Amino acid sequence: MSKYSNVTAMLLFVLTATAFSAERNQKPNWKYHEKDPSKKICFAMYTVERQVLKVTAQLYPLQQQDSRDIYLEVEKKGKWQKVAQSKVRENDYVLKKAKAWNALFRVENWDHSREWKYRIVALDGAATYSGTIRKDPVDKNEIVVAAFTGNSNRDRRMKPDILANMKKIDPDLLFFSGDQSYDHKDHLYAWLLFGRQFGEIIKDRPTICVPDDHDIGQGNLWGAEGKKSTGAGGSADGGYLHPVKYVNEVQFAQTANLPDPYDPTPIQRNIGVYYTSLNVGGVDFAIIEDRKFKTGPMGLVETPGHRRPDLINDPDYDRKSIDNSNAKLLGDRQLKFLRDWGTQWAGVQMKAVLSQTIFVNAAHKTGSWRVVADLDSNGWPQTGRNKALEEIRKSFAYMIAGDQHLGTVIQHGVDEWHDSGFSFCVPSIVNYWPRSWLPLEKGLNPISTLLEHTGDYHDGFGNKLTMYAYSNPYGRTGALGTKDNPFAGGAAGFGIIRFNKRDRTITAECWPRNVDITDPATKQYPGWPVTIRQKDNYGRKPAAYLPELHIKGEVDPVVQVIQEVNGKTVYTVRINGDTFRPKVFAAGKYTVKVGEGERLKTLQGIESIGINEKNTITVELK
């Protein structure tokens, strides 16, 4: 090809990218002002936990003369009956002179055994918004979660392809892991846009939204338990840039519909918390805040080879030197929460942990930079990362997150490869800042024949990981697609997670944007789906076993193993069937608890036996 052909091709490339850029930001203006009183309610979100229904309603700005009274009604025997009332909140966001314009409803003693039609009524009846509160799907064998992340401001159009596919999949739970609203000073209008984009699917099923850095107006977030950030090093000094009122209003808008927090005590400067859990159909989801308590790296560690205080470019740096003992990840409060949550199995068959990002650094290229390690990831601090994984694996919990823009399925390792659980990081809805998994060497024990770099690796912090699947972008950004599929090349998409309660398997699906999932020609990203067994989430090799338990009087009971020398819980799980051979990781005596409530049987002083020894204990639950 001649040099003139190269110039022509480059010019065509620039013109095509520019044209798509103009298209994606086309009107109508994303800061939409609704003037029709009947449409003043933009969208609503709900959850139900322990017979408590919580619903939030988000409204467009009201006029001075508009009533602030708002009601929640349900249909009973063909008639609408009021079950809760509230006031539209006009709390100040501080920035952009915006107000909250939202409301929270709470209903105790909710009957979750049946489906309910509901509607929200405002402006003296002029405005209504309707949806369905589903029955708890306890009778379903498969609980389906749809997971999303990264709703970037680089594409503020509607998302009809996602809505169409969600209606076909019909998930039991929606999880938005962060960056739902991508405007650093105007959360109100970014949140209203999110509601217009996704409200049609949100209104009819339980929804979890957790705010991430861009939601609260920062490029990165190391919350540092609520301290004030000066913005130094892009907030790498730790803490929050914006006023406390702004942060709290963002959190209220996105999380007030969640079940009550495990411990509602605010952090520094009275910033609220929301970490909690939600049971959907027998799958129990811990919802954690992996940014809020995390220490900022600036001034605490050196980042050799890069001008930014959160990126490391020197491949020969000392990994252990940056694992500062004073640096926190989840913080003591959330570790305690996970410890308690992991032992609670009433009405639960499987467990999962939902977070903003995953506990590893799984990208070698971020944007146009190749980096060795990124301290914004949860691969750092390494000790804090290991503490989190050690608690999570005790309940055989699967991990679901976003943030990284890059779809991955990874099994984590603390001391050895495969000794902890699996995570699924879902791809971004809009992937304008692509990240890639591009190790320079081949992995040990490769997993997939479809992907080049699977198997056992260390990340840039020295953490052990086993890569099962990844969805690298093959264009520079998500903008470099085609007219028919503007998301081709950027590896944008969404994740579907299927929890099979009968088989105790978990399947991760990774789908691209702008496809019809019901079309037989439509394929997931190469390497997916990935199916694992529940027990793989604590893949640690045993040092010994306890005698096999033969349980009479109950199928699928809860089994808890406690090490007697220190009183620590080794793990808790609802087994599959009526026999179970408990593995342990040190020789010695153990207490084993089988069953629940009045049917709990406690066996003390159980001596471990060798890997190849056989012994049984009969446990009768009456």
455-513: per-residue pLDDT in tens? 999 999 999 999 999 999 875 444 445 555 656 678 999 999 999 999 999 999 999 99
Q: What are the start-end ranges of the H helices in 29-139? A: none
The yes-or-no verdict on residue 311 having pLDDT over 50 is yes
Give Cα separations from 416 to 13, 360, 458, 540 (angstroms): 47, 14, 11, 8
Give the residue from 400, 388, 351 showing the smallest Cα distance to 504.
351
90-110: per-residue pLDDT in tens? 999 999 999 999 999 999 999
Token pair recorded at residue 35: 């003037």
Greater confidence (308 vs 422) lies with: 422
Averaged over 548-572, what is the pLDDT? Answer: 98
Lowest mean pLDDT among 5-9, 399-403, 436-440, 464-468: 5-9
Q: Which helix (H) or strand (E) holds 190?
A: helix 187-202
> What is the Cα–Cα distance from 562 to 571, expressed in whole angstroms?
7
> What is the Cα–Cα distance from 515 to 456, expressed in whole angstroms?
32
- Encode burial over 477-513: b for 16+ CB neighbours within 10 A, e otherwise: bbbbbeeeebbbbbbbbbbbbbbbbeebbbbbbbbbb
> What is the Cα–Cα distance from 134 to 526, expressed in whole angstroms?
34
Strands (DSSP E) along 135-227, which ranges? 142-148, 173-176, 207-209
The yes-or-no verdict on residue 592 having pLDDT over 90 is yes
The yes-or-no verdict on residue 418 having pLDDT over 80 is yes
How much is the pLDDT for 350?
98
- SS3 annotation, 207-239: EEECCCCCCCCCCCCCCHHHCECCCCCCCCCCC
Residues 6+ apart with CB under 8 A from 24: 154, 155, 156, 157, 479, 486
With beta carbons less than 8 A apart as the criterion, state whether 381 and 320 touch.
Answer: no
pTM score, two decimals?
0.94
The yes-or-no verdict on residue 575 having pLDDT over 70 is yes
How much is the pLDDT for 475?
57
189-217: per-residue pLDDT in tens? 999 999 999 999 999 999 999 999 999 99
Averaged over 254-260, what is the pLDDT? Answer: 98
How much is the pLDDT for 593?
98
Give Cα separations from 408 to 43, 391, 422, 436, 510 (angstroms): 31, 22, 10, 10, 9
Lowest mean pLDDT among 362-366, 387-391, 472-476: 472-476
The yes-or-no verdict on residue 113 having pLDDT over 50 is yes
Give Cα separations from 158 to 29, 137, 429, 457 (angstroms): 12, 30, 12, 39
522-546: per-residue pLDDT in tens? 999 999 999 999 999 999 999 999 9
125-180: per-residue pLDDT in tens? 999 999 999 999 999 999 999 999 999 998 999 999 999 999 999 999 999 999 99
> What is the Cα–Cα distance from 503 to 147, expressed in whole angstroms?
22
Neighbours of 185 (CB within 10 A): 13
In the chain, % of residues over pLDDT 90: 87
In the chain, % of residues over pLDDT 70: 93
- Mean pLDDT across the chain: 93
How much is the pLDDT for 622?
84
Greater confidence (423 vs 4) lies with: 423
Token pair recorded at residue 606: 């159980």
Averaged over 515-519, what is the pLDDT? Answer: 95
Token pair recorded at residue 284: 């129990």
328-351: per-residue pLDDT in tens? 999 999 999 999 999 999 999 999
**DSSP states along 372-400:** SEETTSTT-SHHHHHHHHHHHHTTT-EEE
Domains by residue range for the chain, with CATH: 37-133 (2.60.40.380), 142-538 (3.60.21.70), 544-620 (2.60.40.1120)
Main-chain phi, psi angles of 537, to 5 degrees? -75, -5
The yes-or-no verdict on residue 13 having pLDDT over 50 is no
With beta carbons less than 8 A apart as the criterion, state whether 282 and 349 touch.
Answer: yes
With beta carbons less than 8 A apart as the criterion, state whether 509 and 496 touch.
Answer: yes
How much is the pLDDT for 480?
41
Give Cα separations from 173 to 143, 349, 513 (angstroms): 8, 16, 19
Residue listed under structure tokens 């599929």:
485
**Measured in whole angstroms, how far is the alpha carbon of residue 357 from the centre of its chain?**
7
The segment with the largest mean pLDDT, out of 174-188, 364-378, 468-482, is 174-188
> What is the Cα–Cα distance from 557 to 574, expressed in whole angstroms?
6
> What is the Cα–Cα distance from 133 to 48, expressed in whole angstroms?
9
User: Is residue 246 classed as helix, strand or coil in its secondary structure?
Assistant: helix
How much is the pLDDT for 308?
86
Averaged over 426-441, what is the pLDDT? Answer: 93
